[in-house]
Structure 1
């Protein structure tokens, strides 16, 4: 009976008129992201051939101008008061050096020689950190732009040095983080968990309310009310897990076909401190470890929201109310989140479960960086989520006793 009921609930969810259009909509978003948005995403490290050509033309004009007036030596641009000390600036030599470097990068891009291009870019950034630190367009709306630029610079350098130290062939996909594994990493780091959990909330929002249309059939089932709730939860958990698995595999397959699968041993920069914003505040972990630690927490988050929706379904008996409240809880952190929010109701934010819903930012220390704190970490997140799950289970048991089967079906 248990197996038949579980199978029955699973098929109802899979064939639901609410689920099927939603699955097609998510599939449309997935293909749009993998085929249009992410492959052509413009980032700081993206190579723009048109802008490079225009910059080379500008450098040519400046060099020709200095050659025409014979000003190719040192330019003395500073004089100390009451001294004869002068500092010369080799402007022409710098223009010539930059022209050669950008010409070599353009040639490497045209030849698809990304290993040479990565070496040139890494060499340039090592001696020119101001490419990030003084880019006024980078993080210009952020509350701490200088800190964010330093953070981005350190992460970029660590990634590039790791690529060059490995024996893997340097491809376009690897250099610009578009391989299957790197795309999954970026998805989990950039609010991908929110999207997956919203899908779970949507699938589980009507698992109770839909039964009220078939009261005469379901009231006679030889199963206890609490067991029915457990089987319903298990069915939507399995459906959500299957959906997430297919979603992930299809997305990675699309990106792999375009840019390659990637490598599990690539290093992911993680922040271990915020004292100096120097390399000493950073460490690394393998991409395999990052994905493993993130994905292993996903089932806990899925069952947490499934059971929460069962509680809400018992209390409100309407799938749209359940969907609204569940979504509000999921995105509740966004209602009060600022870069300086480190307490909520006088308690550290690390004690609240909503801090860990976007778990992809926990493992690499990004949430600590954004909140300017060091109290949020992996083990603590698992403990907080487990405690939250246990609290929800206790609440569900109590509510199921109060809102029994008869009262639930007959309530208006």
Structure 2
């Protein structure tokens, strides 16, 4: 009976009139993201051939100007007659060096020689951190743009140095983080967990309310009310896991066909402290460890929201109200959180479960960095979510005894 009922509920969710259009919509989003949005997304490190050619033309004109006036030595920006000291810069020599460097990058890009291109780009950034730190367009709307630019610079340098130290061939996909595994990593780091949790909320929002249309049949089932709720939760959980696995596998497969699968041993920069605001504050974990630690939490988060939806369904008996309230709770952090929010109701922000819903930002220390704190950790996140799940289970047990099967269907 349990197995048949579980199969019945699973198929009801899969064949629901609400589920099929939603799955189609997600499929369209997935293919759009993997085929059009992410492959052509521009980042700070995206190579712009036109801009590079214009920069080379500018450097060439500058060199001609310096030669025409016979000034190819030091350029003195400051001089005082009271001191026998002069401060000058070898502008002509630096321009000549940069001209060769950018010409090499342009030629490497055209020849698809990304190993040489990465070597040149890394060499340039090592000598010119101002390319990040002085870029006024980078994070210009952020409350702490200088801090964010330094953060991006250190992360980029750590990734590039790792690529060069590994024996893996340098390809376009690897350099610009478009391989299958790197795409999955970026998806999880950039609110991908929110997207997957919303899908789970959507699928489980009607698993109880839909039965009220067939109450004459279901009231006679030889199953206790609490077991029935557990089996419904299990069916929604299994369907959600199948759906999430399918989205991840298909997404990684599409990116793999285009740019390669990637490598599990690549290093992911993580911020371990915020004391010196230099490279000393960073460490690394493998890409395999990052993906494993993130994805292993998804089942716990899925169970948490599915059981919460059961409670809300018992109380409100309407799938749209359930969807709205659960979604509001999922995104609640976005309503109050700022870059300086470290407390909520006088308590540390790390004690609230909504802090950990976007779990992709916990493992790499990004959440700590964004909120300017160091109290949010992986272990504490697991503990807080487990406590929250336990509390929801207790509430569900109490509510299911108050709103039993007869009372639930009688209210229709």
- In the alignment, the residues of structure 1 paired with residue 328 and residue 80 of structure 2 have an alpha-carbon distance, to the nearest angstrom, of 62
- In the alignment, the residues of structure 2 paired with residue 30 and residue 76 of structure 1 have an alpha-carbon distance, to the nearest angstrom, of 56
Mapping for residues 42-53 of structure 1, pairs under 5 Å: 42-53=42-53
Q: Deviations over 1:87-139 (max 9, x none)?
A: 12211111111111000000000000000000000011111111111111111
Partner of 2:302: 302
Partner of 1:269: 269
TM-score (norm 1): 0.99
- In the alignment, the residues of structure 1 paired with residue 126 and residue 73 of structure 2 have an alpha-carbon distance, to the nearest angstrom, of 26
Q: CA deviation at 1:80?
A: 3.4
SS of alignment partner, residue 270 of structure 2: strand
Structure 1 stretch 130-139 or stretch 77-86: which is displaced more? Answer: 77-86
- In the alignment, the residues of structure 2 paired with residue 187 and residue 110 of structure 1 have an alpha-carbon distance, to the nearest angstrom, of 29
Q: Deviations over 1:198-233 (max 9, x none)?
A: 000000000111000001010100000001000000
Partner of 1:69: 69
Q: Are residue 169 (structure 1) and residue 169 (structure 2) matched?
A: yes
SS of alignment partner, residue 274 of structure 2: coil
Partner of 1:335: 335
Partner of 1:102: 102
Q: CA deviation at 1:14?
A: 0.1
- In the alignment, the residues of structure 1 paired with residue 178 and residue 160 of structure 2 have an alpha-carbon distance, to the nearest angstrom, of 14
Q: Deviations over 1:116-169 (max 9, x none)?
A: 000000011111111111111111111111111111111001000000000000
SS of alignment partner, residue 77 of structure 2: strand
Partner of 1:401: 401
Distance 1:52 1:408, change over 3 A: same
Partner of 1:314: 314
Partner of 1:217: 217
Partner of 2:288: 288
Partner of 1:41: 41
Partner of 1:149: 149
Q: Are residue 242 (structure 1) and residue 242 (structure 2) matched?
A: yes
Q: CA deviation at 1:81?
A: 6.2
- In the alignment, the residues of structure 1 paired with residue 15 and residue 79 of structure 2 have an alpha-carbon distance, to the nearest angstrom, of 80
Q: CA deviation at 1:363?
A: 0.4
SS of alignment partner, residue 88 of structure 1: strand
- In the alignment, the residues of structure 1 paired with residue 81 and residue 23 of structure 2 have an alpha-carbon distance, to the nearest angstrom, of 73
Q: CA deviation at 1:82?
A: 2.0
Q: Are residue 83 (structure 1) and residue 83 (structure 2) matched?
A: yes
Q: CA deviation at 1:84?
A: 3.2
Q: Deviations over 1:278-320 (max 9, x none)?
A: 1111110000000000111110000100000000000000000
Partner of 1:137: 137
**Which consecutive aligned stretches of 4+ in structure 1 deviate over 4 angstroms post-superposition?**
none
Q: Are residue 278 (structure 1) and residue 305 (structure 2) matched?
A: no
In structure 2, stretches of 5+ residues that fail to align are none
In structure 1, stretches of 5+ residues that fail to align are none
Q: CA deviation at 1:61?
A: 1.0
Q: Deviations over 1:19-55 (max 9, x none)?
A: 0000000000000000001001110000000110111
TM-score (norm 2): 0.99
- In the alignment, the residues of structure 2 paired with residue 326 and residue 77 of structure 1 have an alpha-carbon distance, to the nearest angstrom, of 62
Q: CA deviation at 1:410?
A: 1.1
Q: Deviations over 1:309-352 (max 9, x none)?
A: 00000000000000000000000000001000000000000000
Structure 1 vs Structure 2 CA RMSD: 0.7
SS of alignment partner, residue 362 of structure 2: helix
